[in-house]
């Protein structure tokens, strides 16, 4: 399932479950940004996470928005980078729609029925037109689904459980599965659910998604122009079937690190989603700017490798107990990340939030925010029982601010419980190879990793612990864990799936397959004159510009 993402730009990987990166980035293809001077340190535990900014009082003619880089393509089937998604989420609609509170609902599919647990029947909404004025039909929906499912496309692994997709009525598509698939409709709220205008896409051919081509979509905005190397402009679509969008025109330009910070500080840009915590930290307290923090699935983790220094689960649990997560949050990320005991953020709780909140609190017993004397004593006991590795444990990192702080804190934690440790620092581009190339990981025992999932369901993450997962580098094998993951993925009832997910989460934590460090909020930075868009991670899949307008007064 294409649910796992690294917090990077557009560094394409080749393993199932570790797909094109899309979210938290600032330097190269690294999720940990370089430190930007200025700003005020926050306390993430005290930040109010809200799905949206306050509602707008009225529309605005034009908004200047910042991306961190220029999109490679506006065809999300071939290039799934975050820059293109931030633009296209306002232009292209999906069969389901992710809401600011991270729930999802039928959208271009007006209705969704499950006559049995291996069948999904979608009723395509009437009255929707593409931006060229042509009607959106069930034929377009079926063609789009088949395009997404093509093995060469980004979302193809969302369809591995699908046995057939057919048009079974004028406005009806029937999808059948090998086994029940609890996450498929959530995938339809992501890029696997985009409905393309078949005629436009085929007419553009290989040029589709490039500068000078149309958008082939049906959303509240249409693509008005793309000046390569300069800007992308979208404008409100007059024939939109739904509620009229508030912002009349949005002009996107791109900048990263200091240039992005300066453009927002000087008023050259009206807003941005600050995907790197340090960028947001540098802008805190800036006159004329507001920041809104929202739920996200993103986390920072230590990911053990196959090298063997952290092969024993007792050593991994000991490290987790000794790690100073609070110190990392303050020193490495300006206080904008929160010490966290789960490998997936609270934005994944699209259901059963009370139960998942309680489960995360329970996990803090094995992943404390700041270790006390009892935690360190227990960690030393685990090391003694397991036997300390004879060689130093090597932490792989790059030179970016956040990762450097985490690496140093990890070394200090290991040394505090009697273990030898060292750090291997590589350039950001080389760091990306750790994720995809076992040979690149041959000299490190853990990497400072960043991760998010594209679906608001924790089960979108826990396939990483399956015995045959390409992301299970440490070689964790547990037949009961495997069975429960697969059972949860096939459980359509949310309450039943939540119970299974919490069980799976506990097993993952007990084995310390990954060592969680912090959760990372989504951050909206906006001119004080404007308000309305979602603050949550939903901005990657929800038409945020349609809600963007002026404040009262």
Q: Give start-end residues of each CATH 3.90.76.10 domain in the chain.
A: 92-218
* HEC secondary structure over 439-489: CCCCCCCEEEEEEEECCCCHHHCHHHHCCCCCCCCCCCCCHHHHHHHHHHH
Q: What is the pLDDT of residues 359-394, one digit of tens each?
A: 999 999 999 999 999 999 999 999 999 999 999 999
Q: Look over the chain and give the mean of its residue pLDDT values, rounded to a whole number.
A: 91
Q: Which residue has the tokens 């069948």?
A: 119
Length of the chain: 553
pLDDT, residue 552, reads 85
What is the pLDDT, as a whole number, of residue 24?
Answer: 32
Q: Of 538, 544, 24, 540, which Cα lies nearest the Cα of 279?
A: 24
List every span in the chain annotated with CATH 3.40.190.10.
41-72+221-294+522-537+544-553
- DSSP annotation of 445 reads S
Q: What is the pLDDT of residues 76-100, one digit of tens each?
A: 999 878 899 999 999 999 999 999 9
Per-residue model confidence (pLDDT) at position 541: 96
> Which residues does 116 contact at the CB level (< 8 Å), separation at least 6?
none
Residues of the chain within CATH 3.10.105.10 domain(s) are 299-381+451-519
Do 117 and 180 form a contact (C-beta atoms < 8 A)? yes
| pLDDT at position 45 | 61
Where on the phi/psi map is residue 501: left (φ > 0), alpha (ψ -120 to 50), or beta? alpha
Residue 139 in tokens: 């034929």
Complete DSSP assignment for 340-363: -SSSS-GGG-SS-HHHHHHHHHHH
Confidence (pLDDT) at 249? 98
Query: Per residue, what are the HEC states of 59-124?
Result: CEEEEEEEECCCCCCCCCCCCCCHHHHHHHCCCCCECEEECCCCCEEECCEEEEEEEECCEEEEEE
Alpha carbon separation from 286 to 249, 254, 333, 534 (Å, rounded):
25, 20, 17, 21
| CA angle 542–548–550, rounded 5-degree value | 165
Task: Report how far residue 420's alpha carbon sits from residue 416's, in angstroms, rounded to the nearest whole number.
Answer: 9
Around Cβ 115, how many Cβ atoms within 10 Å?
Answer: 9
pTM, to two decimals: 0.89
Closest to 87 measured CA to CA, from 105, 107, 101, 69: 69
* Sequence-separated (6 or more) residues with CB below 8 Å from residue 53: 290, 292, 524, 526, 531, 532, 533, 534, 535
Averaged pLDDT, groups of 10, the chain, 553 residues long? 44 28 29 42 74 97 96 92 94 98 96 97 98 97 98 95 98 98 97 97 95 95 96 97 97 92 96 88 92 96 96 98 96 91 96 97 96 98 96 96 96 98 95 94 96 94 96 96 98 97 98 97 96 97 98 82
DSSP state of 403: H
pLDDT of residue 189: 97
Write the CA distances from 449 to 236, 258, 350, 529, integer angstroms: 39, 23, 24, 37
Please report the pLDDT score of residue 242 as a whole number: 96
Contacts with 238 (C-beta within 8 Å, 6 or more apart), sequence order: none
Residues 6+ apart with CB under 8 A from 28: 398, 427, 428, 429, 432
Is 299-381+451-519 assigned to CATH 3.10.105.10? yes
Contacts of 483 by beta carbon, 8 Å cutoff, 6+ apart: none
* Phi, psi angles (nearest 5°) of residue 290: -115, 150
Residue found under tokens 């739920």: 295
Q: What is the CATH number of domain 92-218?
A: 3.90.76.10
Q: Give pLDDT, residue 425.
A: 98
Sort 361 into a burial class: Cβ within 10 Å, 0-12 / 13-18 / 19+. exposed
Question: What was the pLDDT predicted at 443?
Answer: 96
The CATH class given to the 41-72+221-294+522-537+544-553 domain equals alpha beta
For residue 219, the SS3 value is coil
């Amino acid at each position: 399932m294409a649910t796992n993402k690294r917090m990077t730009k557009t560094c394409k990987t080749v393993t199932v479950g570790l797909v094109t990166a899309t979210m938290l980035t600032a330097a190269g293809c690294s999720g940990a940004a370089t430190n930007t001077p200025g700003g005020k340190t926050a306390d993430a535990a005290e930040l109010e996470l809200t799905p949206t900014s306050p509602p707008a009082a009225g529309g605005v003619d034009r908004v200047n928005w910042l991306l961190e880089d220029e999109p490679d393509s506006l065809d999300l089937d071939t290039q799934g980078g975050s820059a293109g998604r931030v633009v296209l989420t306002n232009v292209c609609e999906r069969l389901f729609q992710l809401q600011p509170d991270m729930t999802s609902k039928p959208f271009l599919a007006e209705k969704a029925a499950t006559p049995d647990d291996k069948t999904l029947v979608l009723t395509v909404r009437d009255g929707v037109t593409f931006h060229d004025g042509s009607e959106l039909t069930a034929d377009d929906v079926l063609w789009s689904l088949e395009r997404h499912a093509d093995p060469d496309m980004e979302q193809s692994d969302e369809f591995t459980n699908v046995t057939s997709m057919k048009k079974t009525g004028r406005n009806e598509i029937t999808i059948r599965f090998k086994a029940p698939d609890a996450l498929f409709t959530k995938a339809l709220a992501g890029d696997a659910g985009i409905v393309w205008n078949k005629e436009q896409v085929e007419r553009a051919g290989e040029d589709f998604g490039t500068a000078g081509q149309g958008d082939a979509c049906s959303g509240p905005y249409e693509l008005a122009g793309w000046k390569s190397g300069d800007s992308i402009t979208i404008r409100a679509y007059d024939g939109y079937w739904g509620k009229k969008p508030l912002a009349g025109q949005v002009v996107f330009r791109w900048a990263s690190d200091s240039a992005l910070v300066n453009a927002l500080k000087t008023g050259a840009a009206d807003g941005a989603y600050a995907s790197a915590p340090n960028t947001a930290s540098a802008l805190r307290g800036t006159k004329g700017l507001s920041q809104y923090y929202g739920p996200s699935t993103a986390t920072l983790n230590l990911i053990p490798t196959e090298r063997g220094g952290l092969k024993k689960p007792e050593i991994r649990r000991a490290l987790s107990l000794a790690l100073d997560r609070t110190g990392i949050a303050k020193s490495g990320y300006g206080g904008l990340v929160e010490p966290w005991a789960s490998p997936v953020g609270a934005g994944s709780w699209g259901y059963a939030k009370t139960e998942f909140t309680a489960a995360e609190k329970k996990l803090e017993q094995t992943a404390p925010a700041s270790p006390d004397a009892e935690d360190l004593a227990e960690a030393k006991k685990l090391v003694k029982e397991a036997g300390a590795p004879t060689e130093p444990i090597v932490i792989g990192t790059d030179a970016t601010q956040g990762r450097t702080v985490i690496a140093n804190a990890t070394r200090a934690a290991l040394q505090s419980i009697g273990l030898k440790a060292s750090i291997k620092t590589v350039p950001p581009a080389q760091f990306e190879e750790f994720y995809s190339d076992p040979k690149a990981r041959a000299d490190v025992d853990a990497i400072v990793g960043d991760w998010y999932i594209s679906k608001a369901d924790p089960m979108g993450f826990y396939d990483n612990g399956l015995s045959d997962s390409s992301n299970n580098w440490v070689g964790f094998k547990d037949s009961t864990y495997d069975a429960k993951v697969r059972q949860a993925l096939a459980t359509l009832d949310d309450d039943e799936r939540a119970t299974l997910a919490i069980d799976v989460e506990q097993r993952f934590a007990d084995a310390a397959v990954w060592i969680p460090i912090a959760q990372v909020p989504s951050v909206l930075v906006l001119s004080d004159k404007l308000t309305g868009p979602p603050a949550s991670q939903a901005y990657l899949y929800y038409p945020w510009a349609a809600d963007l307008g002026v404040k009262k007064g």
